[in-house]
């Protein structure tokens, strides 16, 4: 929280500014007065300081990073797990997150830059995995970019040692849902391949400018991670080479066994991509795609001829398909009727997988009987089944063929969801071709998380792809409530949030000097996280808009003479003080200057005649950057 700013932690770390806030900790920029350098302090939030699980995760992060030593992983200098405050002292990275970089550039990130960043991430993970550590929360927000696309991986907050068999138990607890692997979403123990899946999503995000799965709620995204294939990157960005696309899609396979098994494997394919020409990329990808679809090819030539063979096979498949399609239409047009005009018997064609719009034309001499069905995993308008089956018998042109066509324009029953958990109910609705929205309401009769009823009600007929609202129990109305964290918000925002929880706000608002804008909340009494009775009054402390006074110490090295002199100090041209010093006895003299902001010019004269030094003190800068020497003159001995 912002209460730490301008304070010194353990008499060593002067906290200067808040860099960010995560799920369980605040990260601050601080100055280490012992090592004389900027550092990053990761401080566990006060509401979690007595939570054994969060302390375990916090300790695990420090333990994980301390055994890692890689240029692309943030360094940790020390750890303090005390009874009142827990923090990690880390390397300060002056840069931007990869997420910000992507948002600022969108599709302007070149393939070369994307590959360069991914290679560094993989090299870092290769080192971590070798040390027996998986990150489990790889995402673009946890990748810092410094000069020339050099990256550092941060936030090992939920890292796991490979020998630890503890399984993931909840999506919210482990990993970010936009980057989480399918096995993590299912609560299955993660391994190195889970990190690779997350890297694949980052790769996808960089080369397309968007995430593969988006939705209004986290649970829907988790379901997509488990069940849906992403849109092919080249459909979004046509400049993506096919082989590179294949690398991305392989890293994002739902089944970990079909993914890259190690970071080294993925790096190897990226190296092949970098060393090959565009034509080779296209051919190699096509060959792998054919293998994915289980098209068996007999390879009788040497391995040297394999690439050419793939070209001929791919070309042959295309030409054969073209000839078959044209030939089939001609056959249908000209052979269904003999020269005498008498209809001939023909084999039942195979229409499954084709689009209804492609066969509803004069080239096909049949009558169609359409039965609308729905399969959420298949495109709209595609034929799912037919009767008679293809090749099962001969029929005359003009005969009727029954087709089952995938269509969203049909009515289905809302399934039974009452009594299920919200997650299971959402999954059941998704499998039925319906969307879901969860709304939490108070209820004393059912356990927390249980579906009470749905709208529309169960067994109601609604259109496929409609949204069903699930009303889920959040338990009985509590008589106590935790004070929310309104620090950093305006007084108006804080009042609204507190009133929503049926808490009162004291009319006597206390104001203190602070670097934050006027009327910004800097603290509450009781503190955030403390449970109080509903209806309790909360005192809020807000910023007065006047910055805190800051004191800077200036050390002046005295001239190397042996006499008693007067030091006259002028601040912004005004005589401030006169100090008599014996240069025989002391070599340094300290002076303190106080202000809340801005700059001051300090002139030092000897005996009010000789200009010895001119300094500039910047009260807006960090302590190690606050003092600047403007003029320096040697005093004549």
155 is catalytic: no
Q: Are 117 and 149 in contact (CB under 8 A)?
A: yes
Residue burial 62-84, b: 16+ Cβ < 10 Å; e: rest: bebbeebebebbbbbeebeeeee
Binding annotation: 42
Q: 161 exposed, middle or buried (CB, 10 Å; 0-12, 13-18, 19+)?
A: middle
DSSP annotation string for 116-165: HHHHHHHHHHHHHHHTTEE-S---GGGEEE-GGG-EEE---TT-EETT--
Query: How many CB atoms sit inside 10 A of residue 203's CB?
Result: 26
DSSP annotation string for 540-582: EEEE-SPPPPEEEEEEEEPPS--SEEEEEEEETTEEEEEEEEE
Distance CA 35, CA 249 (A): 46
The pair phi, psi for residue 192, each rounded to 5°, is -60, -30
Distance CA 326, CA 71 (A): 59
Instruction: Identify any residues that bridge with 603 across adjacent strands, giving them in sequence order.
Output: 570, 614
Beta strands in 489-536 (DSSP E): 504-505, 510-512, 521-525, 531-533
CA atoms within 13 A on the CB side of 531: 4
Helix (H, G, I), strand (E, B) or coil at 222: helix
Helix (H, G, I), strand (E, B) or coil at 617: strand
DSSP annotation string for 354-410: SBHHHHSSTTS--EEEEEEE--TTS-TTBEEEEESPTTSSEEETT-EEEEEEE-SSS
Distance CA 217, CA 281 (A): 38
Q: Write down how long the chain is.
A: 637
Q: Are 285 and 246 in contact (CB under 8 A)?
A: yes
Which residue in 32, 137, 485, 568 is the catalytic one?
Answer: 137
Whether omega for the bond prior to residue 388 falls within 30 degrees of 0, making it cis, is: yes
Helix (H, G, I), strand (E, B) or coil at 27: strand
Q: For residue 417, which of 463, 380, 453, 366 has the smallest C-alpha distance?
A: 453
Binding annotation for ATP: 42
φ/ψ region of 155 (left if φ > 0, alpha if ψ in -120 to 50, else beta) reads left
Query: Rg of the chain over CA atoms, in angstroms?
Result: 35
Residues carrying an active site annotation: 137
């Amino acid at each position: 929280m912002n209460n730490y700013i301008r304070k010194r932690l353990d008499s060593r770390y002067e906290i200067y500014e808040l860099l960010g806030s995560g799920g369980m900790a605040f990260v601050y920029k601080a100055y280490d007065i012992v090592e004389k350098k900027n550092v990053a302090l990761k401080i566990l939030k006060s509401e979690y300081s007595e939570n054994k699980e969060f302390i375990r995760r916090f300790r695990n992060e420090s333990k994980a990073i301390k055994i890692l030593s890689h240029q692309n992983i943030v360094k940790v200098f020390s750890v303090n797990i005390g009874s009142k405050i827990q923090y990690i002292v880390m390397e300060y990275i002056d840069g931007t997150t990869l997420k910000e970089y992507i948002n600022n550039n969108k599709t302007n990130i070149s393939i070369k830059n994307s590959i360069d960043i991914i290679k560094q991430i993989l090299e870092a993970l290769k080192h971590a995995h070798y040390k027996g550590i998986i990150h489990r929360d790889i995402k673009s927000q946890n990748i810092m970019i410094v000069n020339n696309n050099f990256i550092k991986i941060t936030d090992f907050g939920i890292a796991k040692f490979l020998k630890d068999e503890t399984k993931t138990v909840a999506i919210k607890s482990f990993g970010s849902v936009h980057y989480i692997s399918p096995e993590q979403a299912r609560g299955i123990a993660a391994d190195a391949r889970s990190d690779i899946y997350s890297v694949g999503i980052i790769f996808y995000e960089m080369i397309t400018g968007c995430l593969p799965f988006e939705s209004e709620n986290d649970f829907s995204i988790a379901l997509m991670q488990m069940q849906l294939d992403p849109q092919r990157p080249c459909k979004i960005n046509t400049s993506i080479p096919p082989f590179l696309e294949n690398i991305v899609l392989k890293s994002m396979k739902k089944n970990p066994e079909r993914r890259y098994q190690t970071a080294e494997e993925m790096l190897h394919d990226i190296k092949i991509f970098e060393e090959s020409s565009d034509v080779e990329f296209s051919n190699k990808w096509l060959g792998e795609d054919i293998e994915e679809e289980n098209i068996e090819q007999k390879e009788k030539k040497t391995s040297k001829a394999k690439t050419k063979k793939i070209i001929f096979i791919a070309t042959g498949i295309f030409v054969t398909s073209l000839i078959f399609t044209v030939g089939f239409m001609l056959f249908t047009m000209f052979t269904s009727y003999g020269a005498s005009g008498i209809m001939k018997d023909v084999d039942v064609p195979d229409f499954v997988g084709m689009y209804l719009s492609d066969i509803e034309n004069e080239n096909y001499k049949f009558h169609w009987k359409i039965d609308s069905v729905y399969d959420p995993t298949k495109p709209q308008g595609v034929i799912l089944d037919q009767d008679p089956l293809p090749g099962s018998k001969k029929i005359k042109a003009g005969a009727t063929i029954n087709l089952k066509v995938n269509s969203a324009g049909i009515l289905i029953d809302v399934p039974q969801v009452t009594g299920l958990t919200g997650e299971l109910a959402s999954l059941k609705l998704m499998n039925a071709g319906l969307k879901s929205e969860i709304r939490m309401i108070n209820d004393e009769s059912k356990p927390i998380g249980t579906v009470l009823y749905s709208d529309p009600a169960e067994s109601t007929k609604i259109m496929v792809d409609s949204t069903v609202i699930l009303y889920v129990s959040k338990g009985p109305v509590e008589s106590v409530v935790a004070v929310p964290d309104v620090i950093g918000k305006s007084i108006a925002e804080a009042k609204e949030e507190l009133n929503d929880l049926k808490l009162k706000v004291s009319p006597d608002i206390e104001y203190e000097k602070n670097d934050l804008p006027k009327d910004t909340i800097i603290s509450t009494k009781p503190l955030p996280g403390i449970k109080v009775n509903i209806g309790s009054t909360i005192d809020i402390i807000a910023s007065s808009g006047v910055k805190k006074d800051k004191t800077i110490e200036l050390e002046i090295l005295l001239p190397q003479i042996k006499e008693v002199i007067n030091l006259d100090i002028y601040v912004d041209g005004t005589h401030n003080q006169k100090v008599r010093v014996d240069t025989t006895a002391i070599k340094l003299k300290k002076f303190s200057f106080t202000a809340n902001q801005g700059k001051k010019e300090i002139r030092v004269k000897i005996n009010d005649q000789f200009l010895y030094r001119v300094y500039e003190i910047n009260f807006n800068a960090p302590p190690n950057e606050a003092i600047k020497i403007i003029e320096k003159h040697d005093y004549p001995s």
